[in-house]
Amino acid sequence: MSEKTPIPLGSNFIRAIVEKDLAEQKFNLKKWAGSPGDALHQAAGHIDSAKIRTRFPPEPNGYLHIGHAKSIFLNFGLARDYGGICHLRFDDTNPEKESQEYVDSISDAVQWLGFGWQNGNENNLYFASDYFDEMYRAAVGLIEAGLAYVDAQSADEMRINRGTLTEAGKDSPFRNRSIAENLNLFNEMRDGKHADGSLILRAKIDMASPNINMRDPAIYRIRRAHHHNTGDKWCIYPMYTFAHPIEDALEMITHSICTLEFEDQRPFYDWLLDNLAKAPTEANGESKLGLIATPVPHQYEFSRLNLTYVVLSKRKLIDLVEQKYVSGWDDPRLPTLAGARRRGYVAEGFKLFTDRIGVSKADSWIDYSTLEDCMREVLNESAGRRIAVLDPIKLVIENYEAGKVEDCFAPNHPQQPELGKRIVPLTKELWIEREDFMEVPSKGFFRLMQGGLVRLRYGYVVKCTGFEKDAAGNVTMVTCEYLPDTKSGTAGADAIKVKGNIHWVSAAHAYECEVRLYDRLFSAAHPGEAGTDYLTQLNQNSITKITAQLEPSLKNAKPEDRFQFERHGYFVADKKDSVAGKPLFNRTVTLRDAWQK
């Protein structure tokens, strides 16, 4: 077994922050009423038994990819390691492009990675669209506090007046409307009295701020669109940057972890939550509580995962699927978690991978081979060994009795003898790998050659006597004679030393089936780099389908059963195209070391 050093807690900067916060007892008075809600709701709850709360907040507008796995292990992992709870929150405030299929696939992927949202009798699965009423109240609260206004500038005017990185922006002519006027207009927006895009609610912060995100950002827009959860109830929708902090606050999140591109949004995140925690709204007015409870959540950013030879962006993945460059979201070549699973990747491999790459603020590319190494390490220990001939030619043992069947014993796992051995039948006609015979052997070739000796793995030593070729010069059959006293596991086995050792499958017993060999989806390490169209960089040979001869036991493999095919790599019974008694196999990953002997 390989040595695995556990990653010490506190070994990344976010863990260090959590540990410091806990040491300072920052959340000891934090209340939680058992469900998300405003300050009044939470105030009626108990001291939260969860020491921290994190969340994984996917937008259900696509399937999750390997980058999301990093975020899942980070958020759920922090909660698990520090006595906290991690929420699964569907960030579905954008009415377009979201669907139930995506919600289901995301839930599946999170569970497949080993996490869940049922904590005791608390179900921490949430939909941001359930908070539209609170978001609306938050917007009203800001208007009442003089911190938001309805702007009637056109999109172009707003863009021009926003200024640039070096130039301050200009105040909107509508910036100084009265609170009453703003409230009235915002209600009219909600009631459908204005056309899409004609009015927009903006936070009133500072048009001269050096941070463009603080120049009166838009917070609510008019958009007549059907929403998968709320139907046609709303024709105004909150902007993501407004909605997300409120979602975190209603769920009493302590550490809101996101990728680095949101770093510039943090001042607005803080501005918004500080003001909402202060501003008493009509609903909460009498209790003198702000709209949201304290302590308010804080945002922390880490660098997103970039992986060579794939694209980790839902938009690009959607292109690949919709334009049919791949067979679907679960195509085993795709870096989606659904694809990775079908490819035979394992959740423990992703855990090892995320531990190994760590969490930091430095942007970098991780080589795809790092992920493959992690899968190999996990599969090497967990996958049983089987025999498969991927490029078969016949080997006939001339001095072996026709019709005779002899049991040979193959270990299920060389490093785990407790897993026992299985019987593989030996007969006169076998399938062997084409590359295990050479008419004109190259230097260092120790397998079958005219007159040479080789061991049939778990069987006898044989001597090659001849071969046949077809008209095109391809070898079609090899003949040999076996040495009867040399069977593996018998006293005579060591009497003759041979350098080569080849695998084989009895032709009469073999399970013939389709095996799919996968290669990288893109031929470029950084697809789309320097303005290149990533769709032109697809590897044209990313899939090869072959007909292989497998040892008979593999006929009984169930979907998602994983094996090491000796000398070839790790394979999985395809979960989609396999039928009972007729599994198909996908190559997950090759063996690290090419077969040398």
- Footprint on residues 426-485 left by ligand ATP (CB under 6 A): none
Minimum CB distance to ligand ATP smaller for 261 or for 398: 261
Q: How distant, in Å, are the alpha carbons of 27, 223, 244, 295 from that of 39? A: 15, 29, 17, 10
- Footprint on residues 24-63 left by ligand ATP (CB under 6 A): 57-59
Alpha helices in 460-597 (DSSP H): none
542 φψ region: left (φ > 0), alpha (ψ -120 to 50), beta (else)? alpha
Minimum CB distance to Mg ion smaller for 59 or for 188: 59
Catalytic residue among 59, 406, 514, 560: 59
| Residue selected from 30, 314, 509, 567 as contacting ligand ATP according to rule CB under 6 A | 314
| Residue selected from 68, 202, 215, 228 as contacting ligand ATP according to rule CB under 6 A | 68
Minimum CB distance to Mg ion smaller for 59 or for 512: 59
Q: How distant, in Å, are the alpha carbons of 138, 157, 521 from that of 174? A: 21, 12, 52
Minimum CB distance to ligand ATP smaller for 292 or for 305: 305
Amino acid at residue number 181:
E
Contact call for residue 312 and ligand ATP (CB under 6 A): yes
**What is the spatial distance between Cα 525 and Cα 377, in angstroms, rounded to a whole number?**
23
Contact call for residue 392 and ligand ATP (CB under 6 A): no
Contact call for residue 370 and ligand ATP (CB under 6 A): no
Shortest Å distance, C-beta 59 to Mg ion: 5
| Residue selected from 35, 153, 230, 259 as contacting ligand ATP according to rule CB under 6 A | 259
Minimum CB distance to Mg ion smaller for 60 or for 84: 60
In this structure, are residues 482 and 426 in contact, taking their beta carbons and an 8 Å threshold? no
Catalytic residue among 304, 385, 434, 520: 304
Shortest Å distance, C-beta 495 to ligand ATP: 59
Shortest Å distance, C-beta 259 to Mg ion: 9
Minimum CB distance to ligand ATP smaller for 76 or for 82: 76
Give how far the C-alpha of residue 399 lies from the chain's centroid of Cα atoms, to the nearest Å. 54
In this structure, are residues 46 and 32 in contact, taking their beta carbons and an 8 Å threshold? yes
Q: Is 175 among the residues known to form the active site?
A: no
Shortest Å distance, C-beta 242 to Mg ion: 15
CB within 8 Å of 409: residues ≥ 6 apart: 421, 422, 423, 424, 458, 488, 489
| Residue selected from 153, 161, 213, 313 as contacting ligand ATP according to rule CB under 6 A | 313
- Tell me whether residue 221 is exposed, middle or buried, using C-beta atoms within 10 angstroms of its C-beta: 0 to 12, 13 to 18, 19 or more: middle
Contact call for residue 255 and ligand ATP (CB under 6 A): no
In this structure, are residues 208 and 167 in contact, taking their beta carbons and an 8 Å threshold? no
Contact call for residue 71 and ligand ATP (CB under 6 A): yes
- Footprint on residues 40-69 left by Mg ion (CB under 5 A): 59
Residue nearest to Mg ion (CB): 59
Contact call for residue 351 and ligand ATP (CB under 6 A): no
Binding span for ligand ATP by CB under 6 A among 218-226, 244-252, 305-313, 477-485: 305-313
Residue 95 binding: pick among ligand ATP, Mg ion, none (C-beta 5-8 Å cut-off by kind): none
Catalytic residue among 53, 314, 428, 587: 314
Strand partners, 429: 396
Q: Is 59 among the residues known to form the active site?
A: yes
Shortest Å distance, C-beta 313 to ligand ATP: 4
Minimum CB distance to ligand ATP smaller for 170 or for 304: 304
In this structure, are residues 337 and 66 in contact, taking their beta carbons and an 8 Å threshold? yes
Shortest Å distance, C-beta 240 to Mg ion: 8
Shortest Å distance, C-beta 244 to ligand ATP: 9
Shortest Å distance, C-beta 239 to ligand ATP: 14
Residue 308 binding: pick among ligand ATP, Mg ion, none (C-beta 5-8 Å cut-off by kind): none
Minimum CB distance to Mg ion smaller for 59 or for 406: 59
Contact call for residue 70 and ligand ATP (CB under 6 A): yes
Strand partners, 408: 424
State the SS3 of 341-410: HHHCCCHHHHHHHHHHHCCCCCCCEECHHHHHHHHHHHHHHHCEEECEECCEEEEEECCCCCCCCEEEEE
Residue 238 binding: pick among ligand ATP, Mg ion, none (C-beta 5-8 Å cut-off by kind): none
Contact call for residue 535 and ligand ATP (CB under 6 A): no
**What is the spatial distance between Cα 240 and Cα 597, in angstroms, rounded to a whole number?**
59
Altogether, the residues listed in the chain come to a count of 597
Residue 282's CB: how many other CB atoms inside 10 A?
11
Alpha helices in 131-175 (DSSP H): 132-144, 155-161
The H or E element containing residue 189 is helix 179-190
How does 563-582 read in b/e, with b if 16+ C-beta sit within 10 Å? bbbbbbbbbbbbbeebeeee
Q: How many residues bind ligand ATP (CB under 6 A)?
A: 14
In this structure, are residues 437 and 393 in contact, taking their beta carbons and an 8 Å threshold? yes
Shortest Å distance, C-beta 316 to ligand ATP: 8
Residue 58 binding: pick among Mg ion, ligand ATP, none (C-beta 5-8 Å cut-off by kind): ligand ATP
Strand partners, 294: none
Binding span for ligand ATP by CB under 6 A among 76-84, 274-282, 308-316, 321-329: 308-316
**What is the spatial distance between Cα 400 and Cα 320, in angstroms, rounded to a whole number?**
53
- Tell me whether residue 324 is exposed, middle or buried, using C-beta atoms within 10 angstroms of its C-beta: 0 to 12, 13 to 18, 19 or more: exposed
For the annotated catalytic residues, the residue numbers are 59, 304, 314
- Positions that interact with Mg ion (CB under 5 A): 59
The footprint of ligand ATP (CB under 6 A) covers 57-59, 67-68, 70-71, 258-259, 304-305, 312-314
